[in-house]
């Protein structure tokens, strides 16, 4: 088992990464300091992994909230189901919430934990690659709104993250690739040697080679932990983790939540960002080709949906947490392995990029 630390002073916490960690009951138990425990999960994950979590905490009063599976259920309404249960069962402020699932469950669970009685303990058990390398670490929690992705939320750190690499065996190929999109992101924004490793080892990742997956998860979490420790509340460098996301979130919202997986939208969005970085003279053509090629190698889409016009992108991108006074700001690449901070975009150049792809 590998252990990394997210260094946030009195709110620091460990990330455990390894095979079969869910079967190590004492590991979870060690971080649960209450009798009352609520598990939030969905109807795909519950039949697979709920019982092993229940077995780890045999003496607790455990409530389980199972919501339907899908990005379209990442809403205030479904977070409300957690509050309904906690109140109905008279859960106290020292209760613990365990989020068992992918990024949807982790973001919703963290938000519910942040809000219930102004904050209860919470533990992340991420079960997708995307959640293990990104969403479970760093304390961004929240839900979608019909007018904007992740627009309602809170920063709220978990007590620990338990990433069991074995659970990735049941993940669909498409979901594995979606997770790889966020892995590639770390290479692009701040870790050129990792990007080069990914270029050389993509087939190993897609084949779910244990060593390759463990290495990629650990390296990604290390990158994320460093960024979050430096800038927990995103006043600077943390925004670089949003490479491709301004375009990607527009695709997710514009196409209807769930049509494009988050990682797929990020892959396409990063190709937009690469194109714009090239137009601004930051990246050369060969570098743009390498970026598009690595997403293709990960079996991710690189072409935007035909249905979205430039005007639609601009409308949706004007609702983004990086924007200031309504001006669209995006993360670009100065070079492979080096991201910019949010850049105010010249609208005519942004339009060129959008029209180059979207029409």
Backbone φ, ψ for residue 180 (5° rounding): -65, -30
Residues 219 to 278 in contact with ligand NAD, rule: CB under 6 A: 261-263
Strands 333-335, 338-339: pairing kind = antiparallel
| Distance between first and last Cα of the chain | 49
Out of 69, 134, 275, 320, the only residue in the binding site for ligand GLY (CB under 6 A) is: 134
Size of the site for ligand GLY (CB under 6 A): 6
Question: Per CB under 6 A, does 353 bind ligand NAD?
Answer: no
- The least CB distance from residue 242 to ligand GLY, in Å, is 6
Residue nearest to ligand GLY (CB): 241
Out of 96, 135, 177, 223, the only residue in the binding site for ligand NAD (CB under 6 A) is: 135
Residues 160 to 179 in contact with ligand NAD, rule: CB under 6 A: 167, 170-171, 175, 178
Residue nearest to ligand NAD (CB): 103
Question: Per CB under 6 A, does 320 bind ligand NAD?
Answer: no
What DSSP letter does each residue of 105-156 carry, written as one string? HHHHHHHHHHHGGG--EEEEEE-SHHIIIIITSS-EEEEEETTEEEEEEEE-
How are the residues of the chain apportioned to helix, strand and coil, as percentages rounded to the nearest 5? 55, 20, 30
Interaction partner, residue 42 (ligand GLY, ligand NAD, none; CB < 5-8 Å by kind): ligand NAD
Question: Per CB under 6 A, does 21 bind ligand GLY?
Answer: no
Question: Per CB under 6 A, does 241 bind ligand GLY?
Answer: yes
> Cα–Cα distance between 311 and 358 in angstroms, integer?
10
The two structure tokens encoding residue 238: 């943390």
Question: Per CB under 6 A, does 104 bind ligand NAD?
Answer: yes
> Cα–Cα distance between 315 and 308 in angstroms, integer?
11
What DSSP letter does each residue of 223-267 carry, written as one string? HHHHHHHH-TT-SSGGGGGGTTHHHHHHHHHHH-TTSS-HHHHHH
Interaction partner, residue 130 (ligand GLY, ligand NAD, none; CB < 5-8 Å by kind): ligand NAD
Question: Per CB under 6 A, does 150 bind ligand NAD?
Answer: yes
Question: Per CB under 6 A, does 181 bind ligand GLY?
Answer: no
Question: Per CB under 6 A, does 107 bind ligand GLY?
Answer: no
Phi-psi region of 76 (alpha: psi -120 to 50; beta: other; left: phi over 0): alpha
Question: Per CB under 6 A, does 159 bind ligand GLY?
Answer: no
Stretch that binds ligand NAD, among 22-30, 39-47, 186-194, 226-234 (CB under 6 A): 39-47
What DSSP letter does each residue of 49-110 carry, written as one string? IIHHHHHH-TTSEEEEEEE-SSGGG-SHHHHHHHHHHHHHTT--TT-EEEEEESHHHHHHHH
Out of 96, 124, 127, 165, the only residue in the binding site for ligand NAD (CB under 6 A) is: 127
Residues contributing to the site for ligand NAD (CB under 6 A): 42, 44-45, 48, 69, 71, 74, 101-105, 107, 127-128, 130-131, 134-135, 138, 140, 150, 167, 170-171, 175, 178, 261-263
């Amino acid at each position: 088992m590998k252990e990394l630390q997210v260094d946030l002073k009195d709110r620091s916490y460990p990330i455990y990464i390894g095979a079969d960690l869910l079967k190590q009951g004492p590991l979870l138990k060690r971080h649960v300091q209450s009798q009352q425990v609520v598990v939030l999960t969905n109807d795909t994950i519950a039949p697979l992994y709920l019982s092993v979590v229940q077995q780890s905490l045999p003496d607790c009063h455990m409530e389980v909230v199972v919501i339907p599976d899908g990005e379209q259920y990442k809403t205030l309404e479904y977070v409300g189901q957690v509050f309904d249960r906690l109140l109905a069962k008279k859960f106290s402020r020292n209760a613990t919430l365990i989020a068992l699932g992918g990024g949807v469950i982790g973001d919703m669970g963290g938000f519910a934990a942040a809000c219930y009685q102004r904050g209860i303990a919470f533990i992340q058990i991420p079960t997708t690659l995307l959640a293990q390398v990104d969403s479970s670490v760093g304390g961004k929690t929240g839900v979608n709104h019909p007018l904007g992705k992740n627009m309602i939320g809170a920063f709220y750190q978990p007590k620990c993250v338990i990433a069991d690499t074995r659970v990735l065996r049941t993940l669909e190929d498409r979901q594995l690739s979606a997770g790889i999109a966020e892995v590639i992101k770390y290479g692009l924004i701040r870790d050129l040697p990792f990007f080069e490793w990914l270029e050389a080892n993509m087939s190993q990742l897609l084949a779910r080679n244990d060593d390759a997956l463990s290495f990629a998860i650990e390296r990604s979490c290390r990158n994320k932990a460093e960024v979050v420790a430096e800038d927990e509340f995103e006043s600077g460098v943390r925004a670089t983790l949003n490479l491709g996301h301004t375009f990607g979130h527009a695709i997710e919202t514009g196409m209807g939540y769930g049509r494009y997986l988050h990682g797929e939208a990020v892959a396409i969005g990063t190709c937009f960002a690469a194109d714009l970085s090239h137009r601004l003279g930051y990246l050369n053509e060969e570098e743009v080709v390498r970026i598009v090629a690595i997403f293709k190698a990960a079996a991710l889409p690189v072409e935007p949906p035909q249905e979205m016009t430039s005007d639609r992108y601009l409308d949706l991108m004007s609702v983004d947490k990086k924007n200031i006074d309504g001006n669209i700001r995006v993360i670009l690449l100065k070079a492979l392995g080096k991201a910019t901070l949010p850049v105010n975009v010249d609208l005519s150049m942004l339009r060129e990029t959008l029209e180059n792809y979207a029409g």
